[in-house]
């Protein structure tokens, strides 16, 4: 089934690569955009994934055709284009993110950047991979890698808290990055490109697939309160190496109380 899902996601990527007239509209929240391709890719994924797993339900960023909570049975959690602003501005850093939960537990994740033809994928208990190459996180400290973060573009009230926290963490890291896609930033932890990714308030479709990939690569994903994420709701989270995770809670303790 994983191979079939990868093939479907790769085909969906062609819709993004060949995009022309985007027909941009706005959603709730500042600078929260949607294009006709967000909707087109999601509809394509729903249709094709339903063919290989008919009993599955679906949650997608661009409107939902199923329950909002993961419960009994299979549930696909989909972001058709994570990094829509990047997509609109031709940054070529936008991905398709597909996760599968079974009985409320994340069991599979696929994240694809069609511009670079990079396919990240993982199945619970079977490891994480990038284009067929097994991913294994090198357990490094913050000082040995890049700290990536979300600037909270849709939640302006969180901009100041996250920048204050990133500023404090930045003094302990090699450098900082904001690449505009949560799913890809999380996968970059699995690929040892980021040592940590920090975000305040992500929706399940932003983090679900990447969470499977990071965990299968040997990393950790926790809320900023230090507990396991709940895939039925928005979470403020950290994805990182085990050593960097410990450092995060030591450094961030005071900032998170403000």
What sign does the dihedral 126-131-132-134 (CA atoms) show? Answer: negative
pLDDT single digits (tens) 56-83 = 999 998 765 544 567 779 999 999 999 9
Tell me how far apart the alpha carbons of residues 123 and 163 are, in angstroms, rounded to a whole number: 34
Domain containing residue 48: CATH number: 3.30.540.10
Domain final position from 112, 135, 158: 135
Domain count, the chain: 2
Domain final position from 135, 162, 194: 135
Rounded average pLDDT per 10-residue block, the chain, 258 residues: 97 94 64 82 96 95 62 92 94 97 96 98 98 98 97 84 94 97 98 97 96 98 96 95 96 73
- Tokens for 222, please give them: 């926790």
219 three-class SS: coil
CB contact at 8 A, 237 and 226? no
Backbone angles phi, psi at 180, to 5 degrees: 85, 10
Backbone angles phi, psi at 131, to 5 degrees: 50, 40
pLDDT single digits (tens) 78-116 = 999 999 999 999 999 999 999 999 999 999 999 999 999
CB contact at 8 A, 244 and 141? yes
Give pLDDT, residue 237: 97
**Domain assignment of residue 218, given as a range:** 142-256
Task: Quote the pTM value.
Answer: 0.93
DSSP state of 153: T
Beta strands in the chain (DSSP E): 25-26, 33-34, 57-60, 74-82, 95-102, 105-113, 118-123, 128-130, 133-135, 146-149, 175-177, 196-202, 220-223, 235-240
Domain containing residue 202: CATH number: 3.40.190.80
Domain final position from 104, 135, 166: 135
Q: Is there a single domain that holds both residue 173 and residue 112?
A: no
């Amino acid at each position: 089934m994983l191979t079939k899902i990868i093939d479907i996601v790769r085909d969906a990527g062609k819709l993004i690569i060949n995009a022309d007239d985007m027909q941009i509209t706005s959603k709730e929240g500042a600078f929260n955009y949607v294009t006709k391709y967000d909707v087109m890719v999601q509809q394509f994924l729903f249709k094709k994934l339903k063919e290989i797993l008919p009993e599955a339900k679906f949650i997608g960023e661009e409107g939902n055709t199923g329950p909002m909570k993961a419960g009994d049975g299979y549930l696909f959690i989909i972001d058709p284009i994570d990094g829509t602003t990047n997509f609109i501005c031709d940054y070529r850093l936008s991905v398709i993110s597909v996760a599968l939960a079974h009985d409320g537990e994340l069991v599979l994740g696929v994240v694809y950047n069609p511009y670079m033809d990079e396919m990240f994928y993982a199945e619970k208990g079977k490891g994480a991979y990038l284009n067929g190459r097994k991913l294994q996180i090198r357990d490094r400290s913050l000082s040995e890698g890049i700290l990536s973060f979300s600037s909270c573009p849709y939640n302006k009230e969180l901009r100041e808290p996250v920048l204050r926290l990133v500023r404090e963490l930045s003094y302990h890291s090699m450098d900082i990055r904001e690449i505009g896609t949560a799913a890809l930033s999380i996968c970059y932890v699995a690929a040892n490109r980021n040592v940590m990714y920090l975000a305040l308030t992500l929706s399940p479709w932003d983090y679900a697939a990447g969470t499977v990939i990071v965990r299968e690569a040997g990393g950790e994903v926790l809320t900023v309160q230090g507990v396991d994420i709940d895939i039925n709701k928005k979470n403020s989270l950290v994805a990182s190496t085990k050593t960097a995770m410990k450092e995060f809670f030591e450094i961030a303790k005071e900032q998170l109380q403000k």
